[in-house]
Each structure stands twice: as C-alpha cells, then as structure tokens.
Structure 1
C-alpha cells in the first residue's frame, strides 16, 4: 500500500484517540501496521490502544518498548508507556516513564500527566509528619469517603 494511505490510517487513529474513541483508533492503527506501516509512532499508539481496549497490558508495553528501541528520543512513546502503566496501576513505572520522556523533549500532555500523577495531596494533619500513623489512616478513610 502507499505510504499516503498508511499516513491516513495513522492520522485517523490519532484523531479518534484524541476524541476518546480508543476502539476506533485501534482499528485504524491495526490497519496501518498490517499495511506495512510499522513505524515507531504507530506501534506506540497501537500498544496503548491494545492495552486500553483489550486489556492486554503486557503486549501493549512490549509494543511501546519496541517503539522506544527504534526511536528513543520521542517523548510520545514514553507518554503511551506511562498511560499503559497507569492502566496496570503501576504508578512507579508510570512516573519513571514520564520523567524519562520529559528528559527527552517537551510534550504538553506528558507534562500535564506528570504533574497529575507526580503530585501528592497535603497531609490531613499538617502539624504531623506525612508518615505519621494518624495522617496515613485519616487520608485513607477520607479518600474512601470522597472527602479528599
């Protein structure tokens, strides 16, 4: 297939993903890869969509890491890897990927996600240390009640 057609699939997938329709984006990225357009960007997006829609987070991480091996300086791949880590509830892995991506270059979405994931709420009782037993359990209770 022509590279122009592959680019169209990729652009449509990115557009659908931006609109929040990961399932349609997944179809477009799969078509682009099957058409011979296994670019790092396409593989990275495909990995994220597979993890989000099919729940295959291990496969999604592998695709993102392959994209990073081919194009290590692109913060987009780190962003998609971090999103997959967050789907797995691996906050440490997500923070590591986001920090590495921020070191590679400027990406507004990456910076916003790093700010969101990396920031901690203030302790419930500010006069006690953050690790104090009362602060830890009060924070858990308030969070579960939706008061925090």
Structure 2
C-alpha cells in the first residue's frame, strides 16, 4: 500500500516538475521518499532541493547516492548535471552529462549539452572566433594546459 502511494507521489512530482512547479514537485518527492526511499525519488528530490533551497552540496550528495544505488540510470546523471549547472559548476555538469550518455541516449541530456554549449570562449574575445590569431593562441594555451 505504501509503495503504491509512493509511486503516485513520485509520478505527481515528475508531472509537476515538467510544468515547472518546483515547490509542489519537491513536496511530492519528499512524500514519496518518506514512504519508499528509491534512487529515482532521491535524484529528483535532490534536483528540487537545489532549485528551491539552494543547498547545492546537500543536493549533490543526495544525487550521488542515487547514482550509487542505481548506476545505470541516465536520469540520475541528468539531474546531477542540472544541479551542477545551478551551482555554477559547468565543467562538472558537462562531464556528468557525458557520463550519463554512456548508459543510453537520453534526449534531455543531449538538449542540456546543446544548451550549455561545448565550446569555450575565444582567447581574444574582441576578435572573431575564426580569426587565425584566436585559433593559434587557443592551440598554444591548450598545449600549455592554460585552457
């Protein structure tokens, strides 16, 4: 009975999150986690906590626990990557998204990667990206480990 209620709360939370009702979603995931602590509920709860409360370290820890509990689920990597983006940790977010793609093609992860953008800004921002000076300065900086 409790497991069935937990599934209902979880599905309501996913629906609320899809409509960008983050506070409602957090409440639903908290209820679902109280009844049946599943890795998916932890993952979504972590994302909601990061978005509503701004406790990024707690959210990262909770999301990592969900990955340990169910390492092959790409959704956990999606949520952890989104938490990293909220925390301003772009590099870790991209690495996490790429790790999630190893477990299956997830269109939401692909969309997040496209939204974030994989290219770094040019070394000399006042020049166009394809300017030879930008190109060669970028290559030299990359080889020296400065980029």
User: What is the CA–CA distance in structure 2 between the aligned matches of 1:59 and 1:51, rounded to whole Å?
Assistant: 8
Is the aligned partner of 1:98 residue 2:97?
A: yes
Equivalent residues in 2 for 1:124-135 (5 A)?
Answer: 124-125=127-128, 126-128=130-132, 129-130=134-135, 132=137
Q: Find the counterpart in structure 1 of residue 40 from structure 2.
A: 41
Count of residue correspondences:
132
Q: Cα offset for 1:18?
A: 0.4
Q: Cα offset for 1:106?
A: 1.5
Unaligned runs of 5+ in 1: 134-148
Q: Find the counterpart in structure 2 of residue 9 from structure 1.
A: 9
Q: Cα offset for 1:132?
A: 4.9
User: What is the CA–CA distance in structure 2 between the aligned matches of 1:23 and 1:122, rounded to whole Å?
Assistant: 35
Unaligned runs of 5+ in 2: 139-147
Q: Find the counterpart in structure 1 of residue 107 from structure 2.
A: 108
Equivalent residues in 2 for 1:131-142 (5 A)?
Answer: 132=137
Aligned-residue RMSD, C-alpha: 1.8
Q: Cα offset for 1:115?
A: 1.9
Moved over 3 A (4+): 121-124, 130-133
Is the aligned partner of 1:66 residue 2:65?
A: yes
| SS of alignment partner, residue 104 of structure 1 | coil
Q: Find the counterpart in structure 1 of residue 18 from structure 2.
A: 18
Structure 1 residues 130 and 20: CA distance shift in structure 2, 3 A: farther
Q: Find the counterpart in structure 1 of residue 144 from structure 2.
A: none
User: What is the CA–CA distance in structure 2 between the aligned matches of 1:131 and 1:42, rounded to whole Å?
Assistant: 48
User: What is the CA–CA distance in structure 1 between the aligned matches of 2:100 and 2:114, rounded to whole Å?
Assistant: 13
TM-score by length of 1: 0.82
Cα pair 1:95 1:118 within 8 Å, conserved: no
User: What is the CA–CA distance in structure 2 between the aligned matches of 1:90 and 1:130, rounded to whole Å?
Assistant: 26
TM-score by length of 2: 0.83
Q: Cα offset for 1:86?
A: 0.3
